[in-house]
Amino acid sequence: MISRQSRFALLSALLSAQQFAYASPAEYRASSYVFGTIAQITVMDADTTRAQAAVGRVFVEFDRMHRELHAWQPGELVALNEAISHGGTNLRTTPEIARLIRESQRLEAQSGGLFNPAIGQLVRLWSFHRDKPGGPLPDPKDIARIVAARPRMSDLSVRGGVVTSVNRSVQLDFGGYAKGYALDRAADLLRASGIRNALINVGGNALALGRHGERAWRVGLDSPRGTALLATLDLYDGEAVGTSGDYRRYYEIGGRRYAHIIDPRTGYPVADVESVTVLVPRGAGAGALSDAASKPIFIAGPSGWREAAARMGISWAMLIDMEGEIHLTRGLQARLHWSEPERVGEVAP
């Protein structure tokens, strides 16, 4: 389900098909439904034909990624997961999946195990593999069994395009990484097409190229509860911002909310955080890091978010706890334009 997208995406996106609109002679916008969410690209370029062609190439690439990296529909990743579950060794996969495994292993180690795309069995158990997740709740014994098996990215070894696993319980799901990876791929394709100024937004994760005319690109950050924007943020060339929230994919049973971010240590959805936002400076893989880094910070919770952010190399971060209190780093506080500045709580160095 899609419960809320960032405000700037909602302004022009339709769920059913790509939409093309012209906001000014130099601005071209397009949106598409992919990765189970809305992807929107805004390009500032006087050559509309070039902008349209470049964005079209990006959406073709997004469609390919969606098919080949989907963890639950037939494709290369599903085939690899099935082979792992049967105890296979020396399993051939695509260079792209092999690269994603290696990068995820690095991020898992950096996060102390909180970033863990190997827990696809738990994702399925909690029904977050479905387009519309929901009950019944899983049997606690099944959760305990998977947690006891300790599926981890480090259970895999990769040599070239060959994968070997020492744990049949590993089931790869790159859902906590794919949107950010898509931002980086889109940026590469746009630059290669001669586009210098664009904003790429995939389900609330955004990456900026250049500027929006005479100013920086501006994005909105949702309030996890309610309909108003919490704040806006100016994004500069190469910067990426990512938000993970309990309002994006969730369901409620017995008055309790179960959201899609699962703590691999317990096997249960995180229950004491509403959202986490991270801002990543320009650099290789900025989009992917903006997506991945928000997860361990979210899982670490109100008591451990600062240490988790530091481990991930994130200087600009914000966490909103279940009481609605805002915790953030001083650097990010200085970058945000608040709708309700009086709500700001803990400010960390």
Lowest mean pLDDT among 51-55, 127-131, 243-247, 305-309: 127-131
pLDDT in tens, 174-192: 988 999 999 999 999 999 9
User: DSSP state, 4?
Assistant: -
pLDDT for 342 equals 66
Check whether 307 has a pLDDT greater than 80. Answer: yes
pLDDT for 226 equals 76
pLDDT for 24 equals 52
Phi, psi of 281 (to 5 degrees): -70, 170
pLDDT for 275 equals 97
Topology of the domain comprising 76-176: T-fold (1.10.3980)
Scored b (16 or more CB within 10 A) or e, 279-313 reads: bbeeeebbbbbbbbbbbbbbbbbbebbbebbebbe
pLDDT for 12 equals 35
The neighbouring-strand residues paired with 241 are 206, 279
Check whether 258 has a pLDDT greater than 50. Answer: yes
pLDDT for 230 equals 93
**Range 204-231 average pLDDT:** 92
**Range 286-304 average pLDDT:** 97
pLDDT for 80 equals 97
Tell the residue number behind the tokens 């904003």, with chain if given.
Answer: 199
What's the CA gap between 331 and 313, in Å, rounded?
Answer: 13
Does the N-terminal peptide bond of residue 136 adopt cis geometry, omega within 30 degrees of 0?
Answer: yes
Topology of the domain comprising 7-66+191-348: T-fold (3.10.520)
Compute CA 213 distance to the chain's CA centroid, rounded to the nearest angstrom: 27
pLDDT for 344 equals 76
Rg of the chain over CA atoms, in angstroms? 20
Structural domain boundaries of the chain?
7-66+191-348, 76-176
What's the CA gap between 272 and 195, in Å, rounded?
Answer: 42
Q: Work out the mean pLDDT of the chain and round it to a whole number.
A: 90
Check whether 9 has a pLDDT greater than 70. Answer: no
What's the CA gap between 160 and 167, in Å, rounded?
Answer: 20
Tell the residue number behind the tokens 């959201």, with chain if given.
Answer: 259
Q: Where are the beta strands (DSSP E) in 145-293?
A: 156-159, 162-165, 198-202, 205-209, 217-222, 229-235, 240-245, 250-253, 256-259, 273-280
Give the predicted TM-score (pTM) of the model: 0.90
Cβ–Cβ < 8 Å for 338, 231:
yes
pLDDT for 8 equals 36
What's the CA gap between 325 and 346, in Å, rounded?
Answer: 8
Check whether 206 has a pLDDT greater than 50. Answer: yes
What's the CA gap between 268 and 144, in Å, rounded?
Answer: 10
Residue 36 pLDDT class (50, 70, 90 cuts): confident
How far is the CA of 220 from the CAs of 109, 191, 230, in angstroms? 32, 24, 8
Cβ–Cβ < 8 Å for 183, 131:
no
Q: DSSP string of 186-212?
A: HHHHHHHTT--SEEEEETTEEEEES-B
